[in-house]
Structure formats: C-alpha cells, structure tokens
Structure 1
Amino acid sequence: MTLESAQSATLDPLGQVPAAIGAPAPRRSRAAVAWTVLGVALFLLLSAAVLAASAIANLRFDAAVAAHRDAVAEAETVGASTAAVEAEAASTAEIAASVLAAPDPLVDAAANAALTTVTAEFDALMASAPETEFAEPTRPLSRPIWFADLDRASDLLAAETERLTAQAAEADAYAADLAVADDAVTDSGVAYLDAIAPVAAAVEAANGSARNVERIEYRNSVEQLAGSTWGYDAAARIDAYVAAAAALQSTHAAEEAEKAGPLYDRRVEVEAYARSIAGGVLLEFDWAPIVIGYGENGSAGGTATWDTWEGGLSTITLSNSIAEQWGDPVMAALVTHEVGHAITSKCYDIVGEYANDNEPWAVAWAIGMGHTDANGNGEWLYGRPSDELIERSKACR
C-alpha cells in the first residue's frame, strides 16, 4: 500500500472514517421539524387559552366587583332607612311605656288594655330585630393576577354580595313590619288619650271636696290632653294629669278629714246646696266653731271671697252652728247670702258698682233667690237693698 493510499485510509481514533473536509452538513429529519412546529403550535394554543381564561376571569371579577358595590350601596341605604324606623320605634315605645305608667283608675280600662296589648306586641317585634352587618368586607378588593386567583376572589365577592342582598331584604321587611306596628301603637295611643276625658270627669266628681286651685289645675291638665297628638308632649301631659289628679285627691282627702265628725253629713248637705246655686263658680269650704264672732248660743256666721280667675272661685267659711241647725230656713238664707258674694266673680258686669261694696249685692241676690227672712239674708245687718238691685241680681245665675 502506498503512502497516499495509507493516508486516505487512516481511521480516526474511534475507528470512524472522517468526513471529507469541505463536505455539506447532513439535513435535519422531517420528524424533528414536525415536532418543533407542533411544539410551537401547542405553546401558542396554551398561551391563547391562558389569555382567554385570564380575560374571562377578569371580566367575571369586574362583574363581581360591580355587583358587590351595588349590594353595598343598597345595603347602606336599607341600613339607614331601617335605623330611622328603629329610632322612631324606640321613641314610640318609650312614650307608650310612660303613658301606660298612669294609674289605672285615671284612665279608660278598655283603651288601657288595647294599648297594653299592641305595645307588648311592638316590644316583642323590636326584640326580634334581625342581626345585620352591612359594613364593607375587610378583605382587600385588589385585582389578583392569576386567573385562578381571580376566580376565587370573584367567588368570595359573589358570596359577600349574596349575604348583603339577603340581609338587606330581611332588614327591609323588618322595617316595613316595624312601621306598621308603630302606626298601630300610635293609633291606639291617641285613642287612649281621647278616652281619658270621661274618666277624668268622674275622678273630679269623686273628689268634690278638693281645694279650688288644685281643681283648676286638674281641669287644665285634662284640657291639655284633649286633641293631643302622639309624642313626647303627650307623655308629658299625661304626667301632668297624673300629678294634678294626685293633688286633687290629696286636698279632697284633707278636706274630708276636716269635715269628719258628728256634723259630717250635714256639712256635706250644706256644701252641696251652696254648689247647686253657685252657677258653676268653684267653691271650697272651711268650717270653724266661731266665724266673725258668731257661732254660739244659736247664732251663725259666714264669710266668702270672690275671684274672677279661671271663671270664678271662692272660699266660704261657715260656723259649725250652720250645720247643727241645717234645715232652718234662716241657715239656708245665710248660706245663700255667702254664695251671693261668691257669684260676683261670674256676674261682675251685672254687679257693677257693688263689686267693691259687696254686701248690698249679696243681700239682694239672696232675696232674689227667694230668701226673704231678714235674719238670714243679711238684711237685718246691712239694710235692705234697692228693688232695682234685687231685680238686677236675678239676671245672675
């Protein structure tokens, strides 16, 4: 073998015949190209899928955020309106409790029972108020990046929206029921106030011996209740009525205690007679053994004041001897004379010039009432009044 032949036949260290210098590189196989194309296609498809999923997740998240914000706004509106209804209801309940504290004898039993029932139902409804939490969630509403996180956030927001919507609906229904119940208590309360007047009249009649000032204050408190609307003012007027009734009853009891004793029944008769002819002027009575020096040895004495305040009122003081001798026409004439003084407050214009020098008027009034006995009507002490004055007095009844 020649050297040239030997060189061309030399093997590389691995026993391979080396490629000739300058020969072209082998081409890639078709399979490799196909796999490459497939890989790129799969990558593009996967990227598109991820982008699509992300876009959908973002849209879903945006919708969840918008729905949640709407739910929060609605919940806040419902919460505010419900709070207003609850505040009004609390006021109504407080007023009802205050009004119902009035003693039963001072109010109408049926109206009291009706208001008690609706108030108890009202209180029970308020106690059943739904527990709501309308505050924004503490979890952040920042937008996640990964679509799976976006989906989880959307689900959380959707659940929160559902909770808020359900609670708002429950609160709204409760507020509507509460408003209806509030109206029922208010209507019953107004009926309760309106029903007091007849009861108040009976209470006053049962306390006939009460002092004038307390009687006037009691009447004024009853007038203040007439036409009252439901509110704290009504509660205050009820309180004033109850206080005035207590004062009325207290002075009645005190006067009854003063009249007590063997002469009690006759004193009551004397007072009833005087009131029957006083033309509505309020009278209160004091009894004493001696009045202006009279009261012993068959004598009798009396005095009377007159005042135009509140339609007229008077305090008449009588000696015990009048009660002892009641039935004697002289005693009736004397009491009539004192009522003549008292009624000046009602007939001030008729009394005219005798308002200050009142004895002639009282004598004339007693005579005009048919008491002609000079020993009783005051004529023996003050002289006979003019016929003109006697006729004038007959216009005062």
Structure 2
Amino acid sequence: MDPAPPFAPRTPPAGRSLRGTALAVSLVWAVGAAVLVQFGSGLAYAPARSVAIANEEELRSAVDAQRRAADRGEATSVQAAALRAALVGELADPAAVAALDTAIGSLDEALDLPAPVAPITGAHPPDEPTVPAWDRLAALVELSAELPLVRERTIAFDATATLLADADSAVDDASSEVFTAAVGRAQAALDATPNASTRTRLDLQYAVDVTAEAGDAAAFAALADAVVAARDAQAAEEAHRRDEPRRAEIEAFARSLSNGVALDFTWSYEAAGVSSDGYYAGTAQFWPEGGGWGLITLTFSVADNWDDENARAVVVHEVGHTQVIRDACHAQFTGPAFAGDHEAWATAWAIGMGYDLPGSGIEAYGRPSDEQIAVAATCR
C-alpha cells in the first residue's frame, strides 16, 4: 500500500460552488453601497432643502412687496391724475405743476413695465430616513437647478418694488410742493383781503390750515373756491363802503366798541320782528371760532336816523351781545348777576357804555338793576 501524499486538496461539498460565493459577496457590497447612498444623500439633501426653503420664502416676500408697491402706485397715479386736472388758476404754481407732471410720467412708466414672473418650484420631500434615497437625490438635483433662478427672480422683484416705491414717493413729494406753493399764494390772498367778511376770511383760513394735510384734488378746489370767495367779499365790502357811507360809518362805530370781536353786518327792512317804519331794531349772532366774531343785523331806519341817540343805543346794545364770548366777560355774563340772560346783559352793557336811553333795551326789556349795570361795566 502506497503512503498518502503530504497534502491533498479538499473536495467541495456537494451543492456549493464558487459562483454562489461571488454572489454573496456582491450582495454584501450592494447593501453597503445602498446604506452609503442613503446616508450620503441625507447629508447633502438636508442643508440644500433648508437653503431652498429660505430662498423661496425670500422670493415670496419680494413678490408680495412688488404687488403692494404696484397697488400703491396705481392708487397714487389715480389720485395724482385727479389733482393734476384740478390745478388751474392762480394757485397753481407753474414750476411745481411741471415737476408733478414729470413725477406722474415716471410713475406711469414704472407701472407699465411688465412684472417679473415667479418661477414654479417643486415640492421638497421631508428630510426623514423613511424617504428613499433616490427621491432625495432627485429632489437634490431639482433644487440645484432651481436655486439660481429663485435668486435671480428675487432680485428682479426687489428691484421692481424699489422702482415703484421711488416713483410713488416722487409723486407724493411733487404733490406736496404743489400744495406748499398753493397754500403760500392763498395766505397772500388772505392777507390782501382784510375787509372781506369774517365768515369768508375764516373759511379761507381754515382751507389754508387743512389743505396741505389733505393733499388731494378736492382740497385744492376748496382752497381755490375760498380764495375767490374772499376776494369777492373784499370787493363787495369796498363797494358797500363807497356806495353806503352812512352804513359804513355805523359799522365802523360798532367795531370801535367791540374789543377785538370781529363784526359782520347785514341791513334789512325788518329785524327782531319789527320793521323800519317807526322802529329802530337789530339782532346779533355770535360764535367763538376764530377768536370770536359776530353778525349784527340792523334795520334801515338806524342808518336813516343816525343822528338820533336812540339809534346809536340800539347799535351799542347789539355790540354788547357779542361781548359774552370774550374771556374777560363770559364769567360775569354767566354769574349770579345775569345767569345767562342775554337781553338784560346787552341792555346793562349799553347803559354802562353811557347810553342810558330807551334804545339801549330799556324800552323793550326793562331797566336792569344797578348791580347788573355795575357788573356789565367791568366788561371792557
């Protein structure tokens, strides 16, 4: 029997082969690669997704800002066009109007520019292990393509919003200059109409005070109307003084007694329910606005018989009514001596002014007490 060789190769067991071993190794490599891809895609996708979401939020903000700027610009354009149509007459400063025209043109050009188009971005799968690696890889590729376009469009929307906002502000500034010039001219008109009626001067002063703040076509038109009214009233007063010198003299006499209370006058055949036939009569209305002013109505008979001291007493009585709006006299009028009795007050005030006559109110309302006369006399 021959001896056994020192080494003999092992015979593989039945049913196994080298091919099966290679397959097993491939499977192990594939599983490992899949794990690496899943892990690697997660590392790359998470920050990319965060950047994409932040950029898209900036884009949405830019789109909203552009739309708001466009809406404001449209509203400003409409208001400015209405104002421009109202800018006629002496209050419209040519240089300010020309600047407004330029600003309106620039705003309209900005509004006519086509708005940028926002890109349509894809959905971004959540960054969770349950999302397959291939989905995250596909989303990562999509994000890489979208990111430059999102940034580009964000810049475009921001630029458009800025352009619109600047154009809108320029129109506002030009409108303000228009009103500044108009108010200056209106104030000059007010200063040039000292003899216009108090009512029209107060209306013009009010328009001067509020027009610049209102800043619209209606305010400009109201200011222009108030200027015309004051100028018309000034002309009417000048004509009145020229044509009715006696009445003008009486009005000047009344104003000399009014202690700063501005007075307007009307003349009528009737006043206080009586006519000029056989009576001297008048009424007084008064208001605290504008530092206090009054409107006195007198019958024609007062002017026709001005040499009669009783006619003068009627005028003094009516001026006395207006004194109760003065701080120096209101407390006496409302105090215990008069308790707000207008006729007793006006009569006592006229007597205290030296017109102790029937026309001072004594005939119509009775003689006030000596105490009342003394209290009214402190109102000077």
TM-score range, shorter chain: 0.5 to 0.7
Residues 224-248 of structure 1, C-alpha deviations (whole Å, 9 max, x = no match): 557x4xxxxx357x73685597589
Residues 159-213 of structure 1, C-alpha deviations (whole Å, 9 max, x = no match): x98777655544433322332333344445556666776666666674966685x
**Runs (5+) with no aligned partner, structure 1:** 1-61, 139-153, 229-233
Matched, 1:295 2:276: yes
SS of the residue corresponding to residue 123 of structure 1 reads helix
Matched, 1:341 2:321: yes
Instruction: Give aligned-pair identity as a percent.
Output: 29
Measure, in 1, the Cα distance between the counterparts of 2:201 and 2:371.
Answer: 36
Shift in CA distance, 178/280, structure 1 to aligned 2, threshold 3 Å = farther
Match of 1:295, as an amino acid? Answer: S
SS of the residue corresponding to residue 132 of structure 1 reads coil
Report the alpha carbon displacement of residue 81 of structure 1 after superposing the two structures with TM: 1.9
**Runs (5+) with no aligned partner, structure 2:** 1-43, 123-140
1:84-123 matches, within 5 Å, as 84-98=68-82, 109=93, 113=97, 116-117=100-101, 119-123=103-107
Measure, in 2, the Cα distance between the counterparts of 1:192 and 1:182.
Answer: 15
| Equivalent position of 1:174 in the other structure | 160
Residues 335-362 of structure 1, C-alpha deviations (whole Å, 9 max, x = no match): 2321111222433322233365434432
Report the alpha carbon displacement of residue 318 of structure 1 after superposing the two structures with TM: 0.8
8 A contact 1:96–1:119 mirrored in 2? no
Matched, 1:351 2:333: yes
Shift in CA distance, 344/164, structure 1 to aligned 2, threshold 3 Å = same
Match of 1:178, as an amino acid? Answer: L
Shift in CA distance, 339/70, structure 1 to aligned 2, threshold 3 Å = closer
Measure, in 1, the Cα distance between the counterparts of 2:345 and 2:205.
Answer: 30
SS of the residue corresponding to residue 85 of structure 1 reads helix
Match of 2:67, as an amino acid? Answer: A
Measure, in 2, the Cα distance between the counterparts of 1:266 and 1:164.
Answer: 85
Residues 123-146 of structure 1, C-alpha deviations (whole Å, 9 max, x = no match): 3443453442224399xxxxxxxx
Shift in CA distance, 96/394, structure 1 to aligned 2, threshold 3 Å = farther
8 A contact 2:350–2:356 mirrored in 1? no
Measure, in 1, the Cα distance between the counterparts of 2:379 and 2:92.
Answer: 37
Residues 50-81 of structure 1, C-alpha deviations (whole Å, 9 max, x = no match): xxxxxxxxxxxx99x99999987665443222
1:125-140 matches, within 5 Å, as 125-136=109-120
Measure, in 2, the Cα distance between the counterparts of 1:324 and 1:202.
Answer: 38
SS of the residue corresponding to residue 298 of structure 2 reads strand
8 A contact 1:283–1:313 mirrored in 2? yes
Matched, 1:318 2:304: no
Match of 2:349, as an amino acid? Answer: W
8 A contact 1:72–1:136 mirrored in 2? no
Let me know the Cα RMSD of the aligned residues.
5.6
| TM-score between both structures, scaled by the size of structure 1 | 0.52
Shift in CA distance, 74/382, structure 1 to aligned 2, threshold 3 Å = closer
Measure, in 2, the Cα distance between the counterparts of 1:199 and 1:357.
Answer: 44
Matched, 1:183 2:201: no
Q: Larger Cα Rg: Structure 1 or Structure 2?
A: 1
8 A contact 2:52–2:147 mirrored in 1? yes
Report the alpha carbon displacement of residue 393 of structure 1 after superposing the two structures with TM: 3.5
Which of 244, 257, 265 aligns to 1:285? It is 265
Q: How many residues align?
A: 308
